[in-house]
Copies of this chain bind each other. A is one copy, B any other.
Amino acid sequence: MSMNAQAKRQFSAISNEMKPSAIRMLLKVANQPDIISFGGGLPNPESFPLDEIKRIFDEQLSKNGKKMLQYGATEGLDSLNVALSKRLREKEDIKSEPSNIIQTAGSQEALYMLGKIFANPGEYVITEAPTYVGTISALRASGVRMIGVEMDHYGMKMDALRDKLKKYPNPKFIYVIPNYQNPSGITMSLERRKELLEIANERGITVLEDDPYGALRFAGPHIPTLKSMDNDVVYLGTFSKVLSPGIRLGYVVGPHDVIERLNIAKQAVDLATSSVSEYIAEAYVSAGFMDKQIPKIIDLYRQKRDLMIESFENYFPKDVEFTRPNGGMFLWVTRKGADTDKMFEEAVKQKVLYVVGSAFYPDGDNHESMRLNFTFSSNENIVEGVKRLGRLFEKTAK
């Protein structure tokens, strides 16, 4: 018997095309000592409600332990879907039943499965440009092409969308992050939201609304979600930014035909989401802990956003532009003529990390920007990290 012979493995075409995520790679460098990382999209650990989670876990385990540790339903824990349906109705005027909801392993799994159920390999969808890097990797993994539509400070530009639809008239869906967009920090205006729904409805195109940061509003008015204005919208929510990303819990609220397809796909992908996470989240929502925690997170993040913007004003050359997000976790920094990909190696040497702007474009064609996370670092590190970036901008030939 010839043991330890390596099999002649040939992997699938789709696997050959998949690339490691820029951000996942970054997380490894970010663990080195003295590194200040504005790279990852990490919540601040101070925002985790440790005491409440301990209390909830112990209570749920005593009360529901045998169900909490058993296989759960693919659509998720019924009482959690009931609690979310109620909450979304009250907070966001979203009129959905518990049966319109499916729990997923974070929003990432939802994005992956939506790409898989909607598009055949080679078919296309429309996204903002830039868009969330995790969406790009999720859709690429099903061979889905992304057509990016330019943004301005009011969100996706509707004239640009109409133009793209002339060339690409049958997208499988339009994907947007209307609140405090990742990576740009931009909020889509109410007028744009209405116009987007109008365009989509006229043409019978499904709209995906990804709303991970909606609850984290520091400033500006509340703007209605697309889902509240059109119940055919497929809405993605998550506990990652308002409870914990480590529990890997997100959810999709959508029409029954979409939820049913997701359910069948999820049976194949991972059977069900962690019941432990679901029982924790259910008590977090139902017992009112979430409503107490969110204002604390907002206070923490608003102060960090302000500090980062103040540091930009103090330490960045005057020709560096940046967004001033009303919520969320990210700022978008742009310098005309810069090449943030080329700057990155020097940034690592200076021990400060960002995500290159090109990572957020499916076609990678913008090199003038970078995404900075303002939620994770200590106040001291925010000031010091921006100083380092400022020096880097100063000495980088444009």
B140 & A268 in contact (Cβ 8 Å cutoff): yes
Complex interface residues of chain A between 310 and 356 (CB less than 8 A to chain B): none
Complex-state Cα separation, A5 to B119, whole angstroms: 21
**A247 is contacted by which of B15, B271, B274 (Cβ under 8 Å)?**
B274
- Write the chain B residue with the least CB distance to A7: B206
The proximity string for A residues 79-109 relative to B, scoring 1 for CB distances below 8 Å and 0 otherwise, is 0000000000000000000000000011011
Which B residues touch A109, using CB under 8 A? 269-270
The proximity string for A residues 265-276 relative to B, scoring 1 for CB distances below 8 Å and 0 otherwise, is 101111111111
A200 & B7 in contact (Cβ 8 Å cutoff): yes
Which B residues touch A172, using CB under 8 A? 10
A65 & B48 in contact (Cβ 8 Å cutoff): yes
User: What's the minimum C-beta distance from A140 to chain B, rounded to whole angstroms?
Assistant: 7
Which B residues touch A57, using CB under 8 A? 54, 57-58, 61
Which B residues touch A7, using CB under 8 A? 200-201, 204-207, 232
Given contacts A106-B271, A112-B269, A137-B267, contact A202 B2 (CB under 8 A): yes
Given contacts A11-B118, A15-B261, A246-B71, contact A66 B45 (CB under 8 A): yes
B270 & A6 in contact (Cβ 8 Å cutoff): no
User: What's the minimum C-beta distance from A267 to chain B, rounded to whole angstroms?
Assistant: 5
The proximity string for A residues 36-57 relative to B, scoring 1 for CB distances below 8 Å and 0 otherwise, is 0000101101001010011001
Binds B, one of A16-24, A149-157, A209-217: A16-24
**A248 is contacted by which of B112, B137, B202, B270 (Cβ under 8 Å)?**
B270
Interface size on A, residues (CB 8 A): 99
A40 & B71 in contact (Cβ 8 Å cutoff): yes
**A12 is contacted by which of B3, B118, B230 (Cβ under 8 Å)?**
B118
A204 & B8 in contact (Cβ 8 Å cutoff): yes
Complex interface residues of chain A between 239 and 279 (CB less than 8 A to chain B): 240, 244-248, 255, 257-258, 261, 263-265, 267-277
8 pairs of A and B residues whose beta carbons are closest in the complex: A8-B204, A141-B268, A246-B275, A69-B244, A45-B66, A7-B206, A15-B117, A105-B270
> Which chain A residues have a beta carbon within 8 Å of chain B's beta carbons?
1-15, 18-21, 24, 27, 40, 42-43, 45, 48, 50, 53-54, 57-58, 61, 65-74, 105-106, 108-109, 112, 116-120, 123, 134, 137-138, 140-142, 172, 194, 197-198, 200-202, 204-207, 229-232, 240, 244-248, 255, 257-258, 261, 263-265, 267-277, 280
Given contacts A12-B120, A13-B120, A70-B245, 18 further A-B contacts (CB under 8 A): A5-B201, A9-B118, A12-B116, A15-B116, A18-B264, A19-B264, A48-B66, A50-B61, A69-B244, A105-B274, A108-B269, A109-B270, A112-B270, A116-B141, A244-B276, A246-B276, A247-B274, A247-B275
